[in-house]
Amino acid sequence: MSANHSSPEILKERLCYQGRKFNFEVSHIRLPNGMEGEWECIRHPGGALAVPLTPEGKLVLVDQYRFPLKQRLLEFPAGTVESSEKAAETIKRELEEETGYRAHQWQDLGKFPLAPGYSDEYIYSFLATDLEQLDTPPDQDEDEDIEIALYTPQELEKLIHSGEANVDAKSIASYYLARPYF
């Protein structure tokens, strides 16, 4: 690493807000060029996401209300990685809770940073296949209001490229990470 790429120095970190799923921190930083200032970010334990594909070739998405945007979005099932869990465990649980499907085959699709301007969250993506619809699905989280929606890959691509998709970044990115497998 050259001198030009030395890292900023963190002079002070302050926990600004402690939430249920993540914290918000403000750091006082000195950049390599000597400039000082406050940088703020969300500290997040990571998210795990499934691209579930049924034996009939349909993708399973969730349609849910998102409070920050005050509207419903179409997303792949996902959840916050709990401190006691690995991402692969989180997503098995979340897939069943959110969709009522159990997957018997899992393929690790890799990870990517979600919003690196203000969050340290990584999304861990998995392809979920050999799906079984559970007779008695586990209860959804009490604060969730989720409906499932089935799309063929062609239908989803058309929606994504329509420009008014309301499909979020992690779902678009994960779809294309999974695409070579189906």
Catalytic residues: 142
For tokens 């989803």, name the residue.
Answer: 156
CA distances from 168 to 2, 16, 73, 112, 115 (A): 37, 27, 7, 14, 12
Q: How many CB atoms lie within 10 A of CB 81?
A: 22
133 binds a second copy (CB under 8 A): no
- Residue pair 26/16 in contact by the 8 Å Cβ criterion: yes
139 binds a second copy (CB under 8 A): no
The backbone torsions φ and ψ at residue 50, rounded to the nearest 5 degrees and listed phi first, read: -115, 140
Q: Which residue among 89, 152, 169, 182 contacts a second copy (CB under 8 A)? A: 169
Q: Taking CB under 8 A as the rule, does residue 41 contact a second copy?
A: yes
* Virtual torsion, Cα 133, 102, 56, 173, nearest 10 deg: 140
- Min dist CB 120 to a second copy, Å, is 4
Residue 80: how many CA atoms within 13 Å on its side-chain side? 13
- Is 159 a residue that touches a second copy (CB under 8 A)? no
Contact 76, 175 (CB under 8 A): yes
Verify binding: residue 27, a second copy, rule CB under 8 A: yes
73 binds a second copy (CB under 8 A): yes
Report if residue 148 touches a second copy, rule: CB under 8 A: no
Q: From the CB of 111, what's the least distance to a second copy, in Å?
A: 7
Query: Judged by CB under 8 A, which of 28, 54, 58, 119 binds a second copy?
Result: 119
Choosing from 15, 19, 57, 155, the residue that interacts with a second copy (CB under 8 A) is 19
**55: contact with a second copy by CB under 8 A:** no
Q: What DSSP character marks residue 82?
A: P
Positions that interact with a second copy (CB under 8 A): 4-5, 7-8, 16-17, 19-22, 24, 26-27, 29, 31-33, 35, 37-42, 47, 65-70, 72-73, 75, 108-121, 123, 142-143, 145, 160-170, 172-173, 176-177, 180
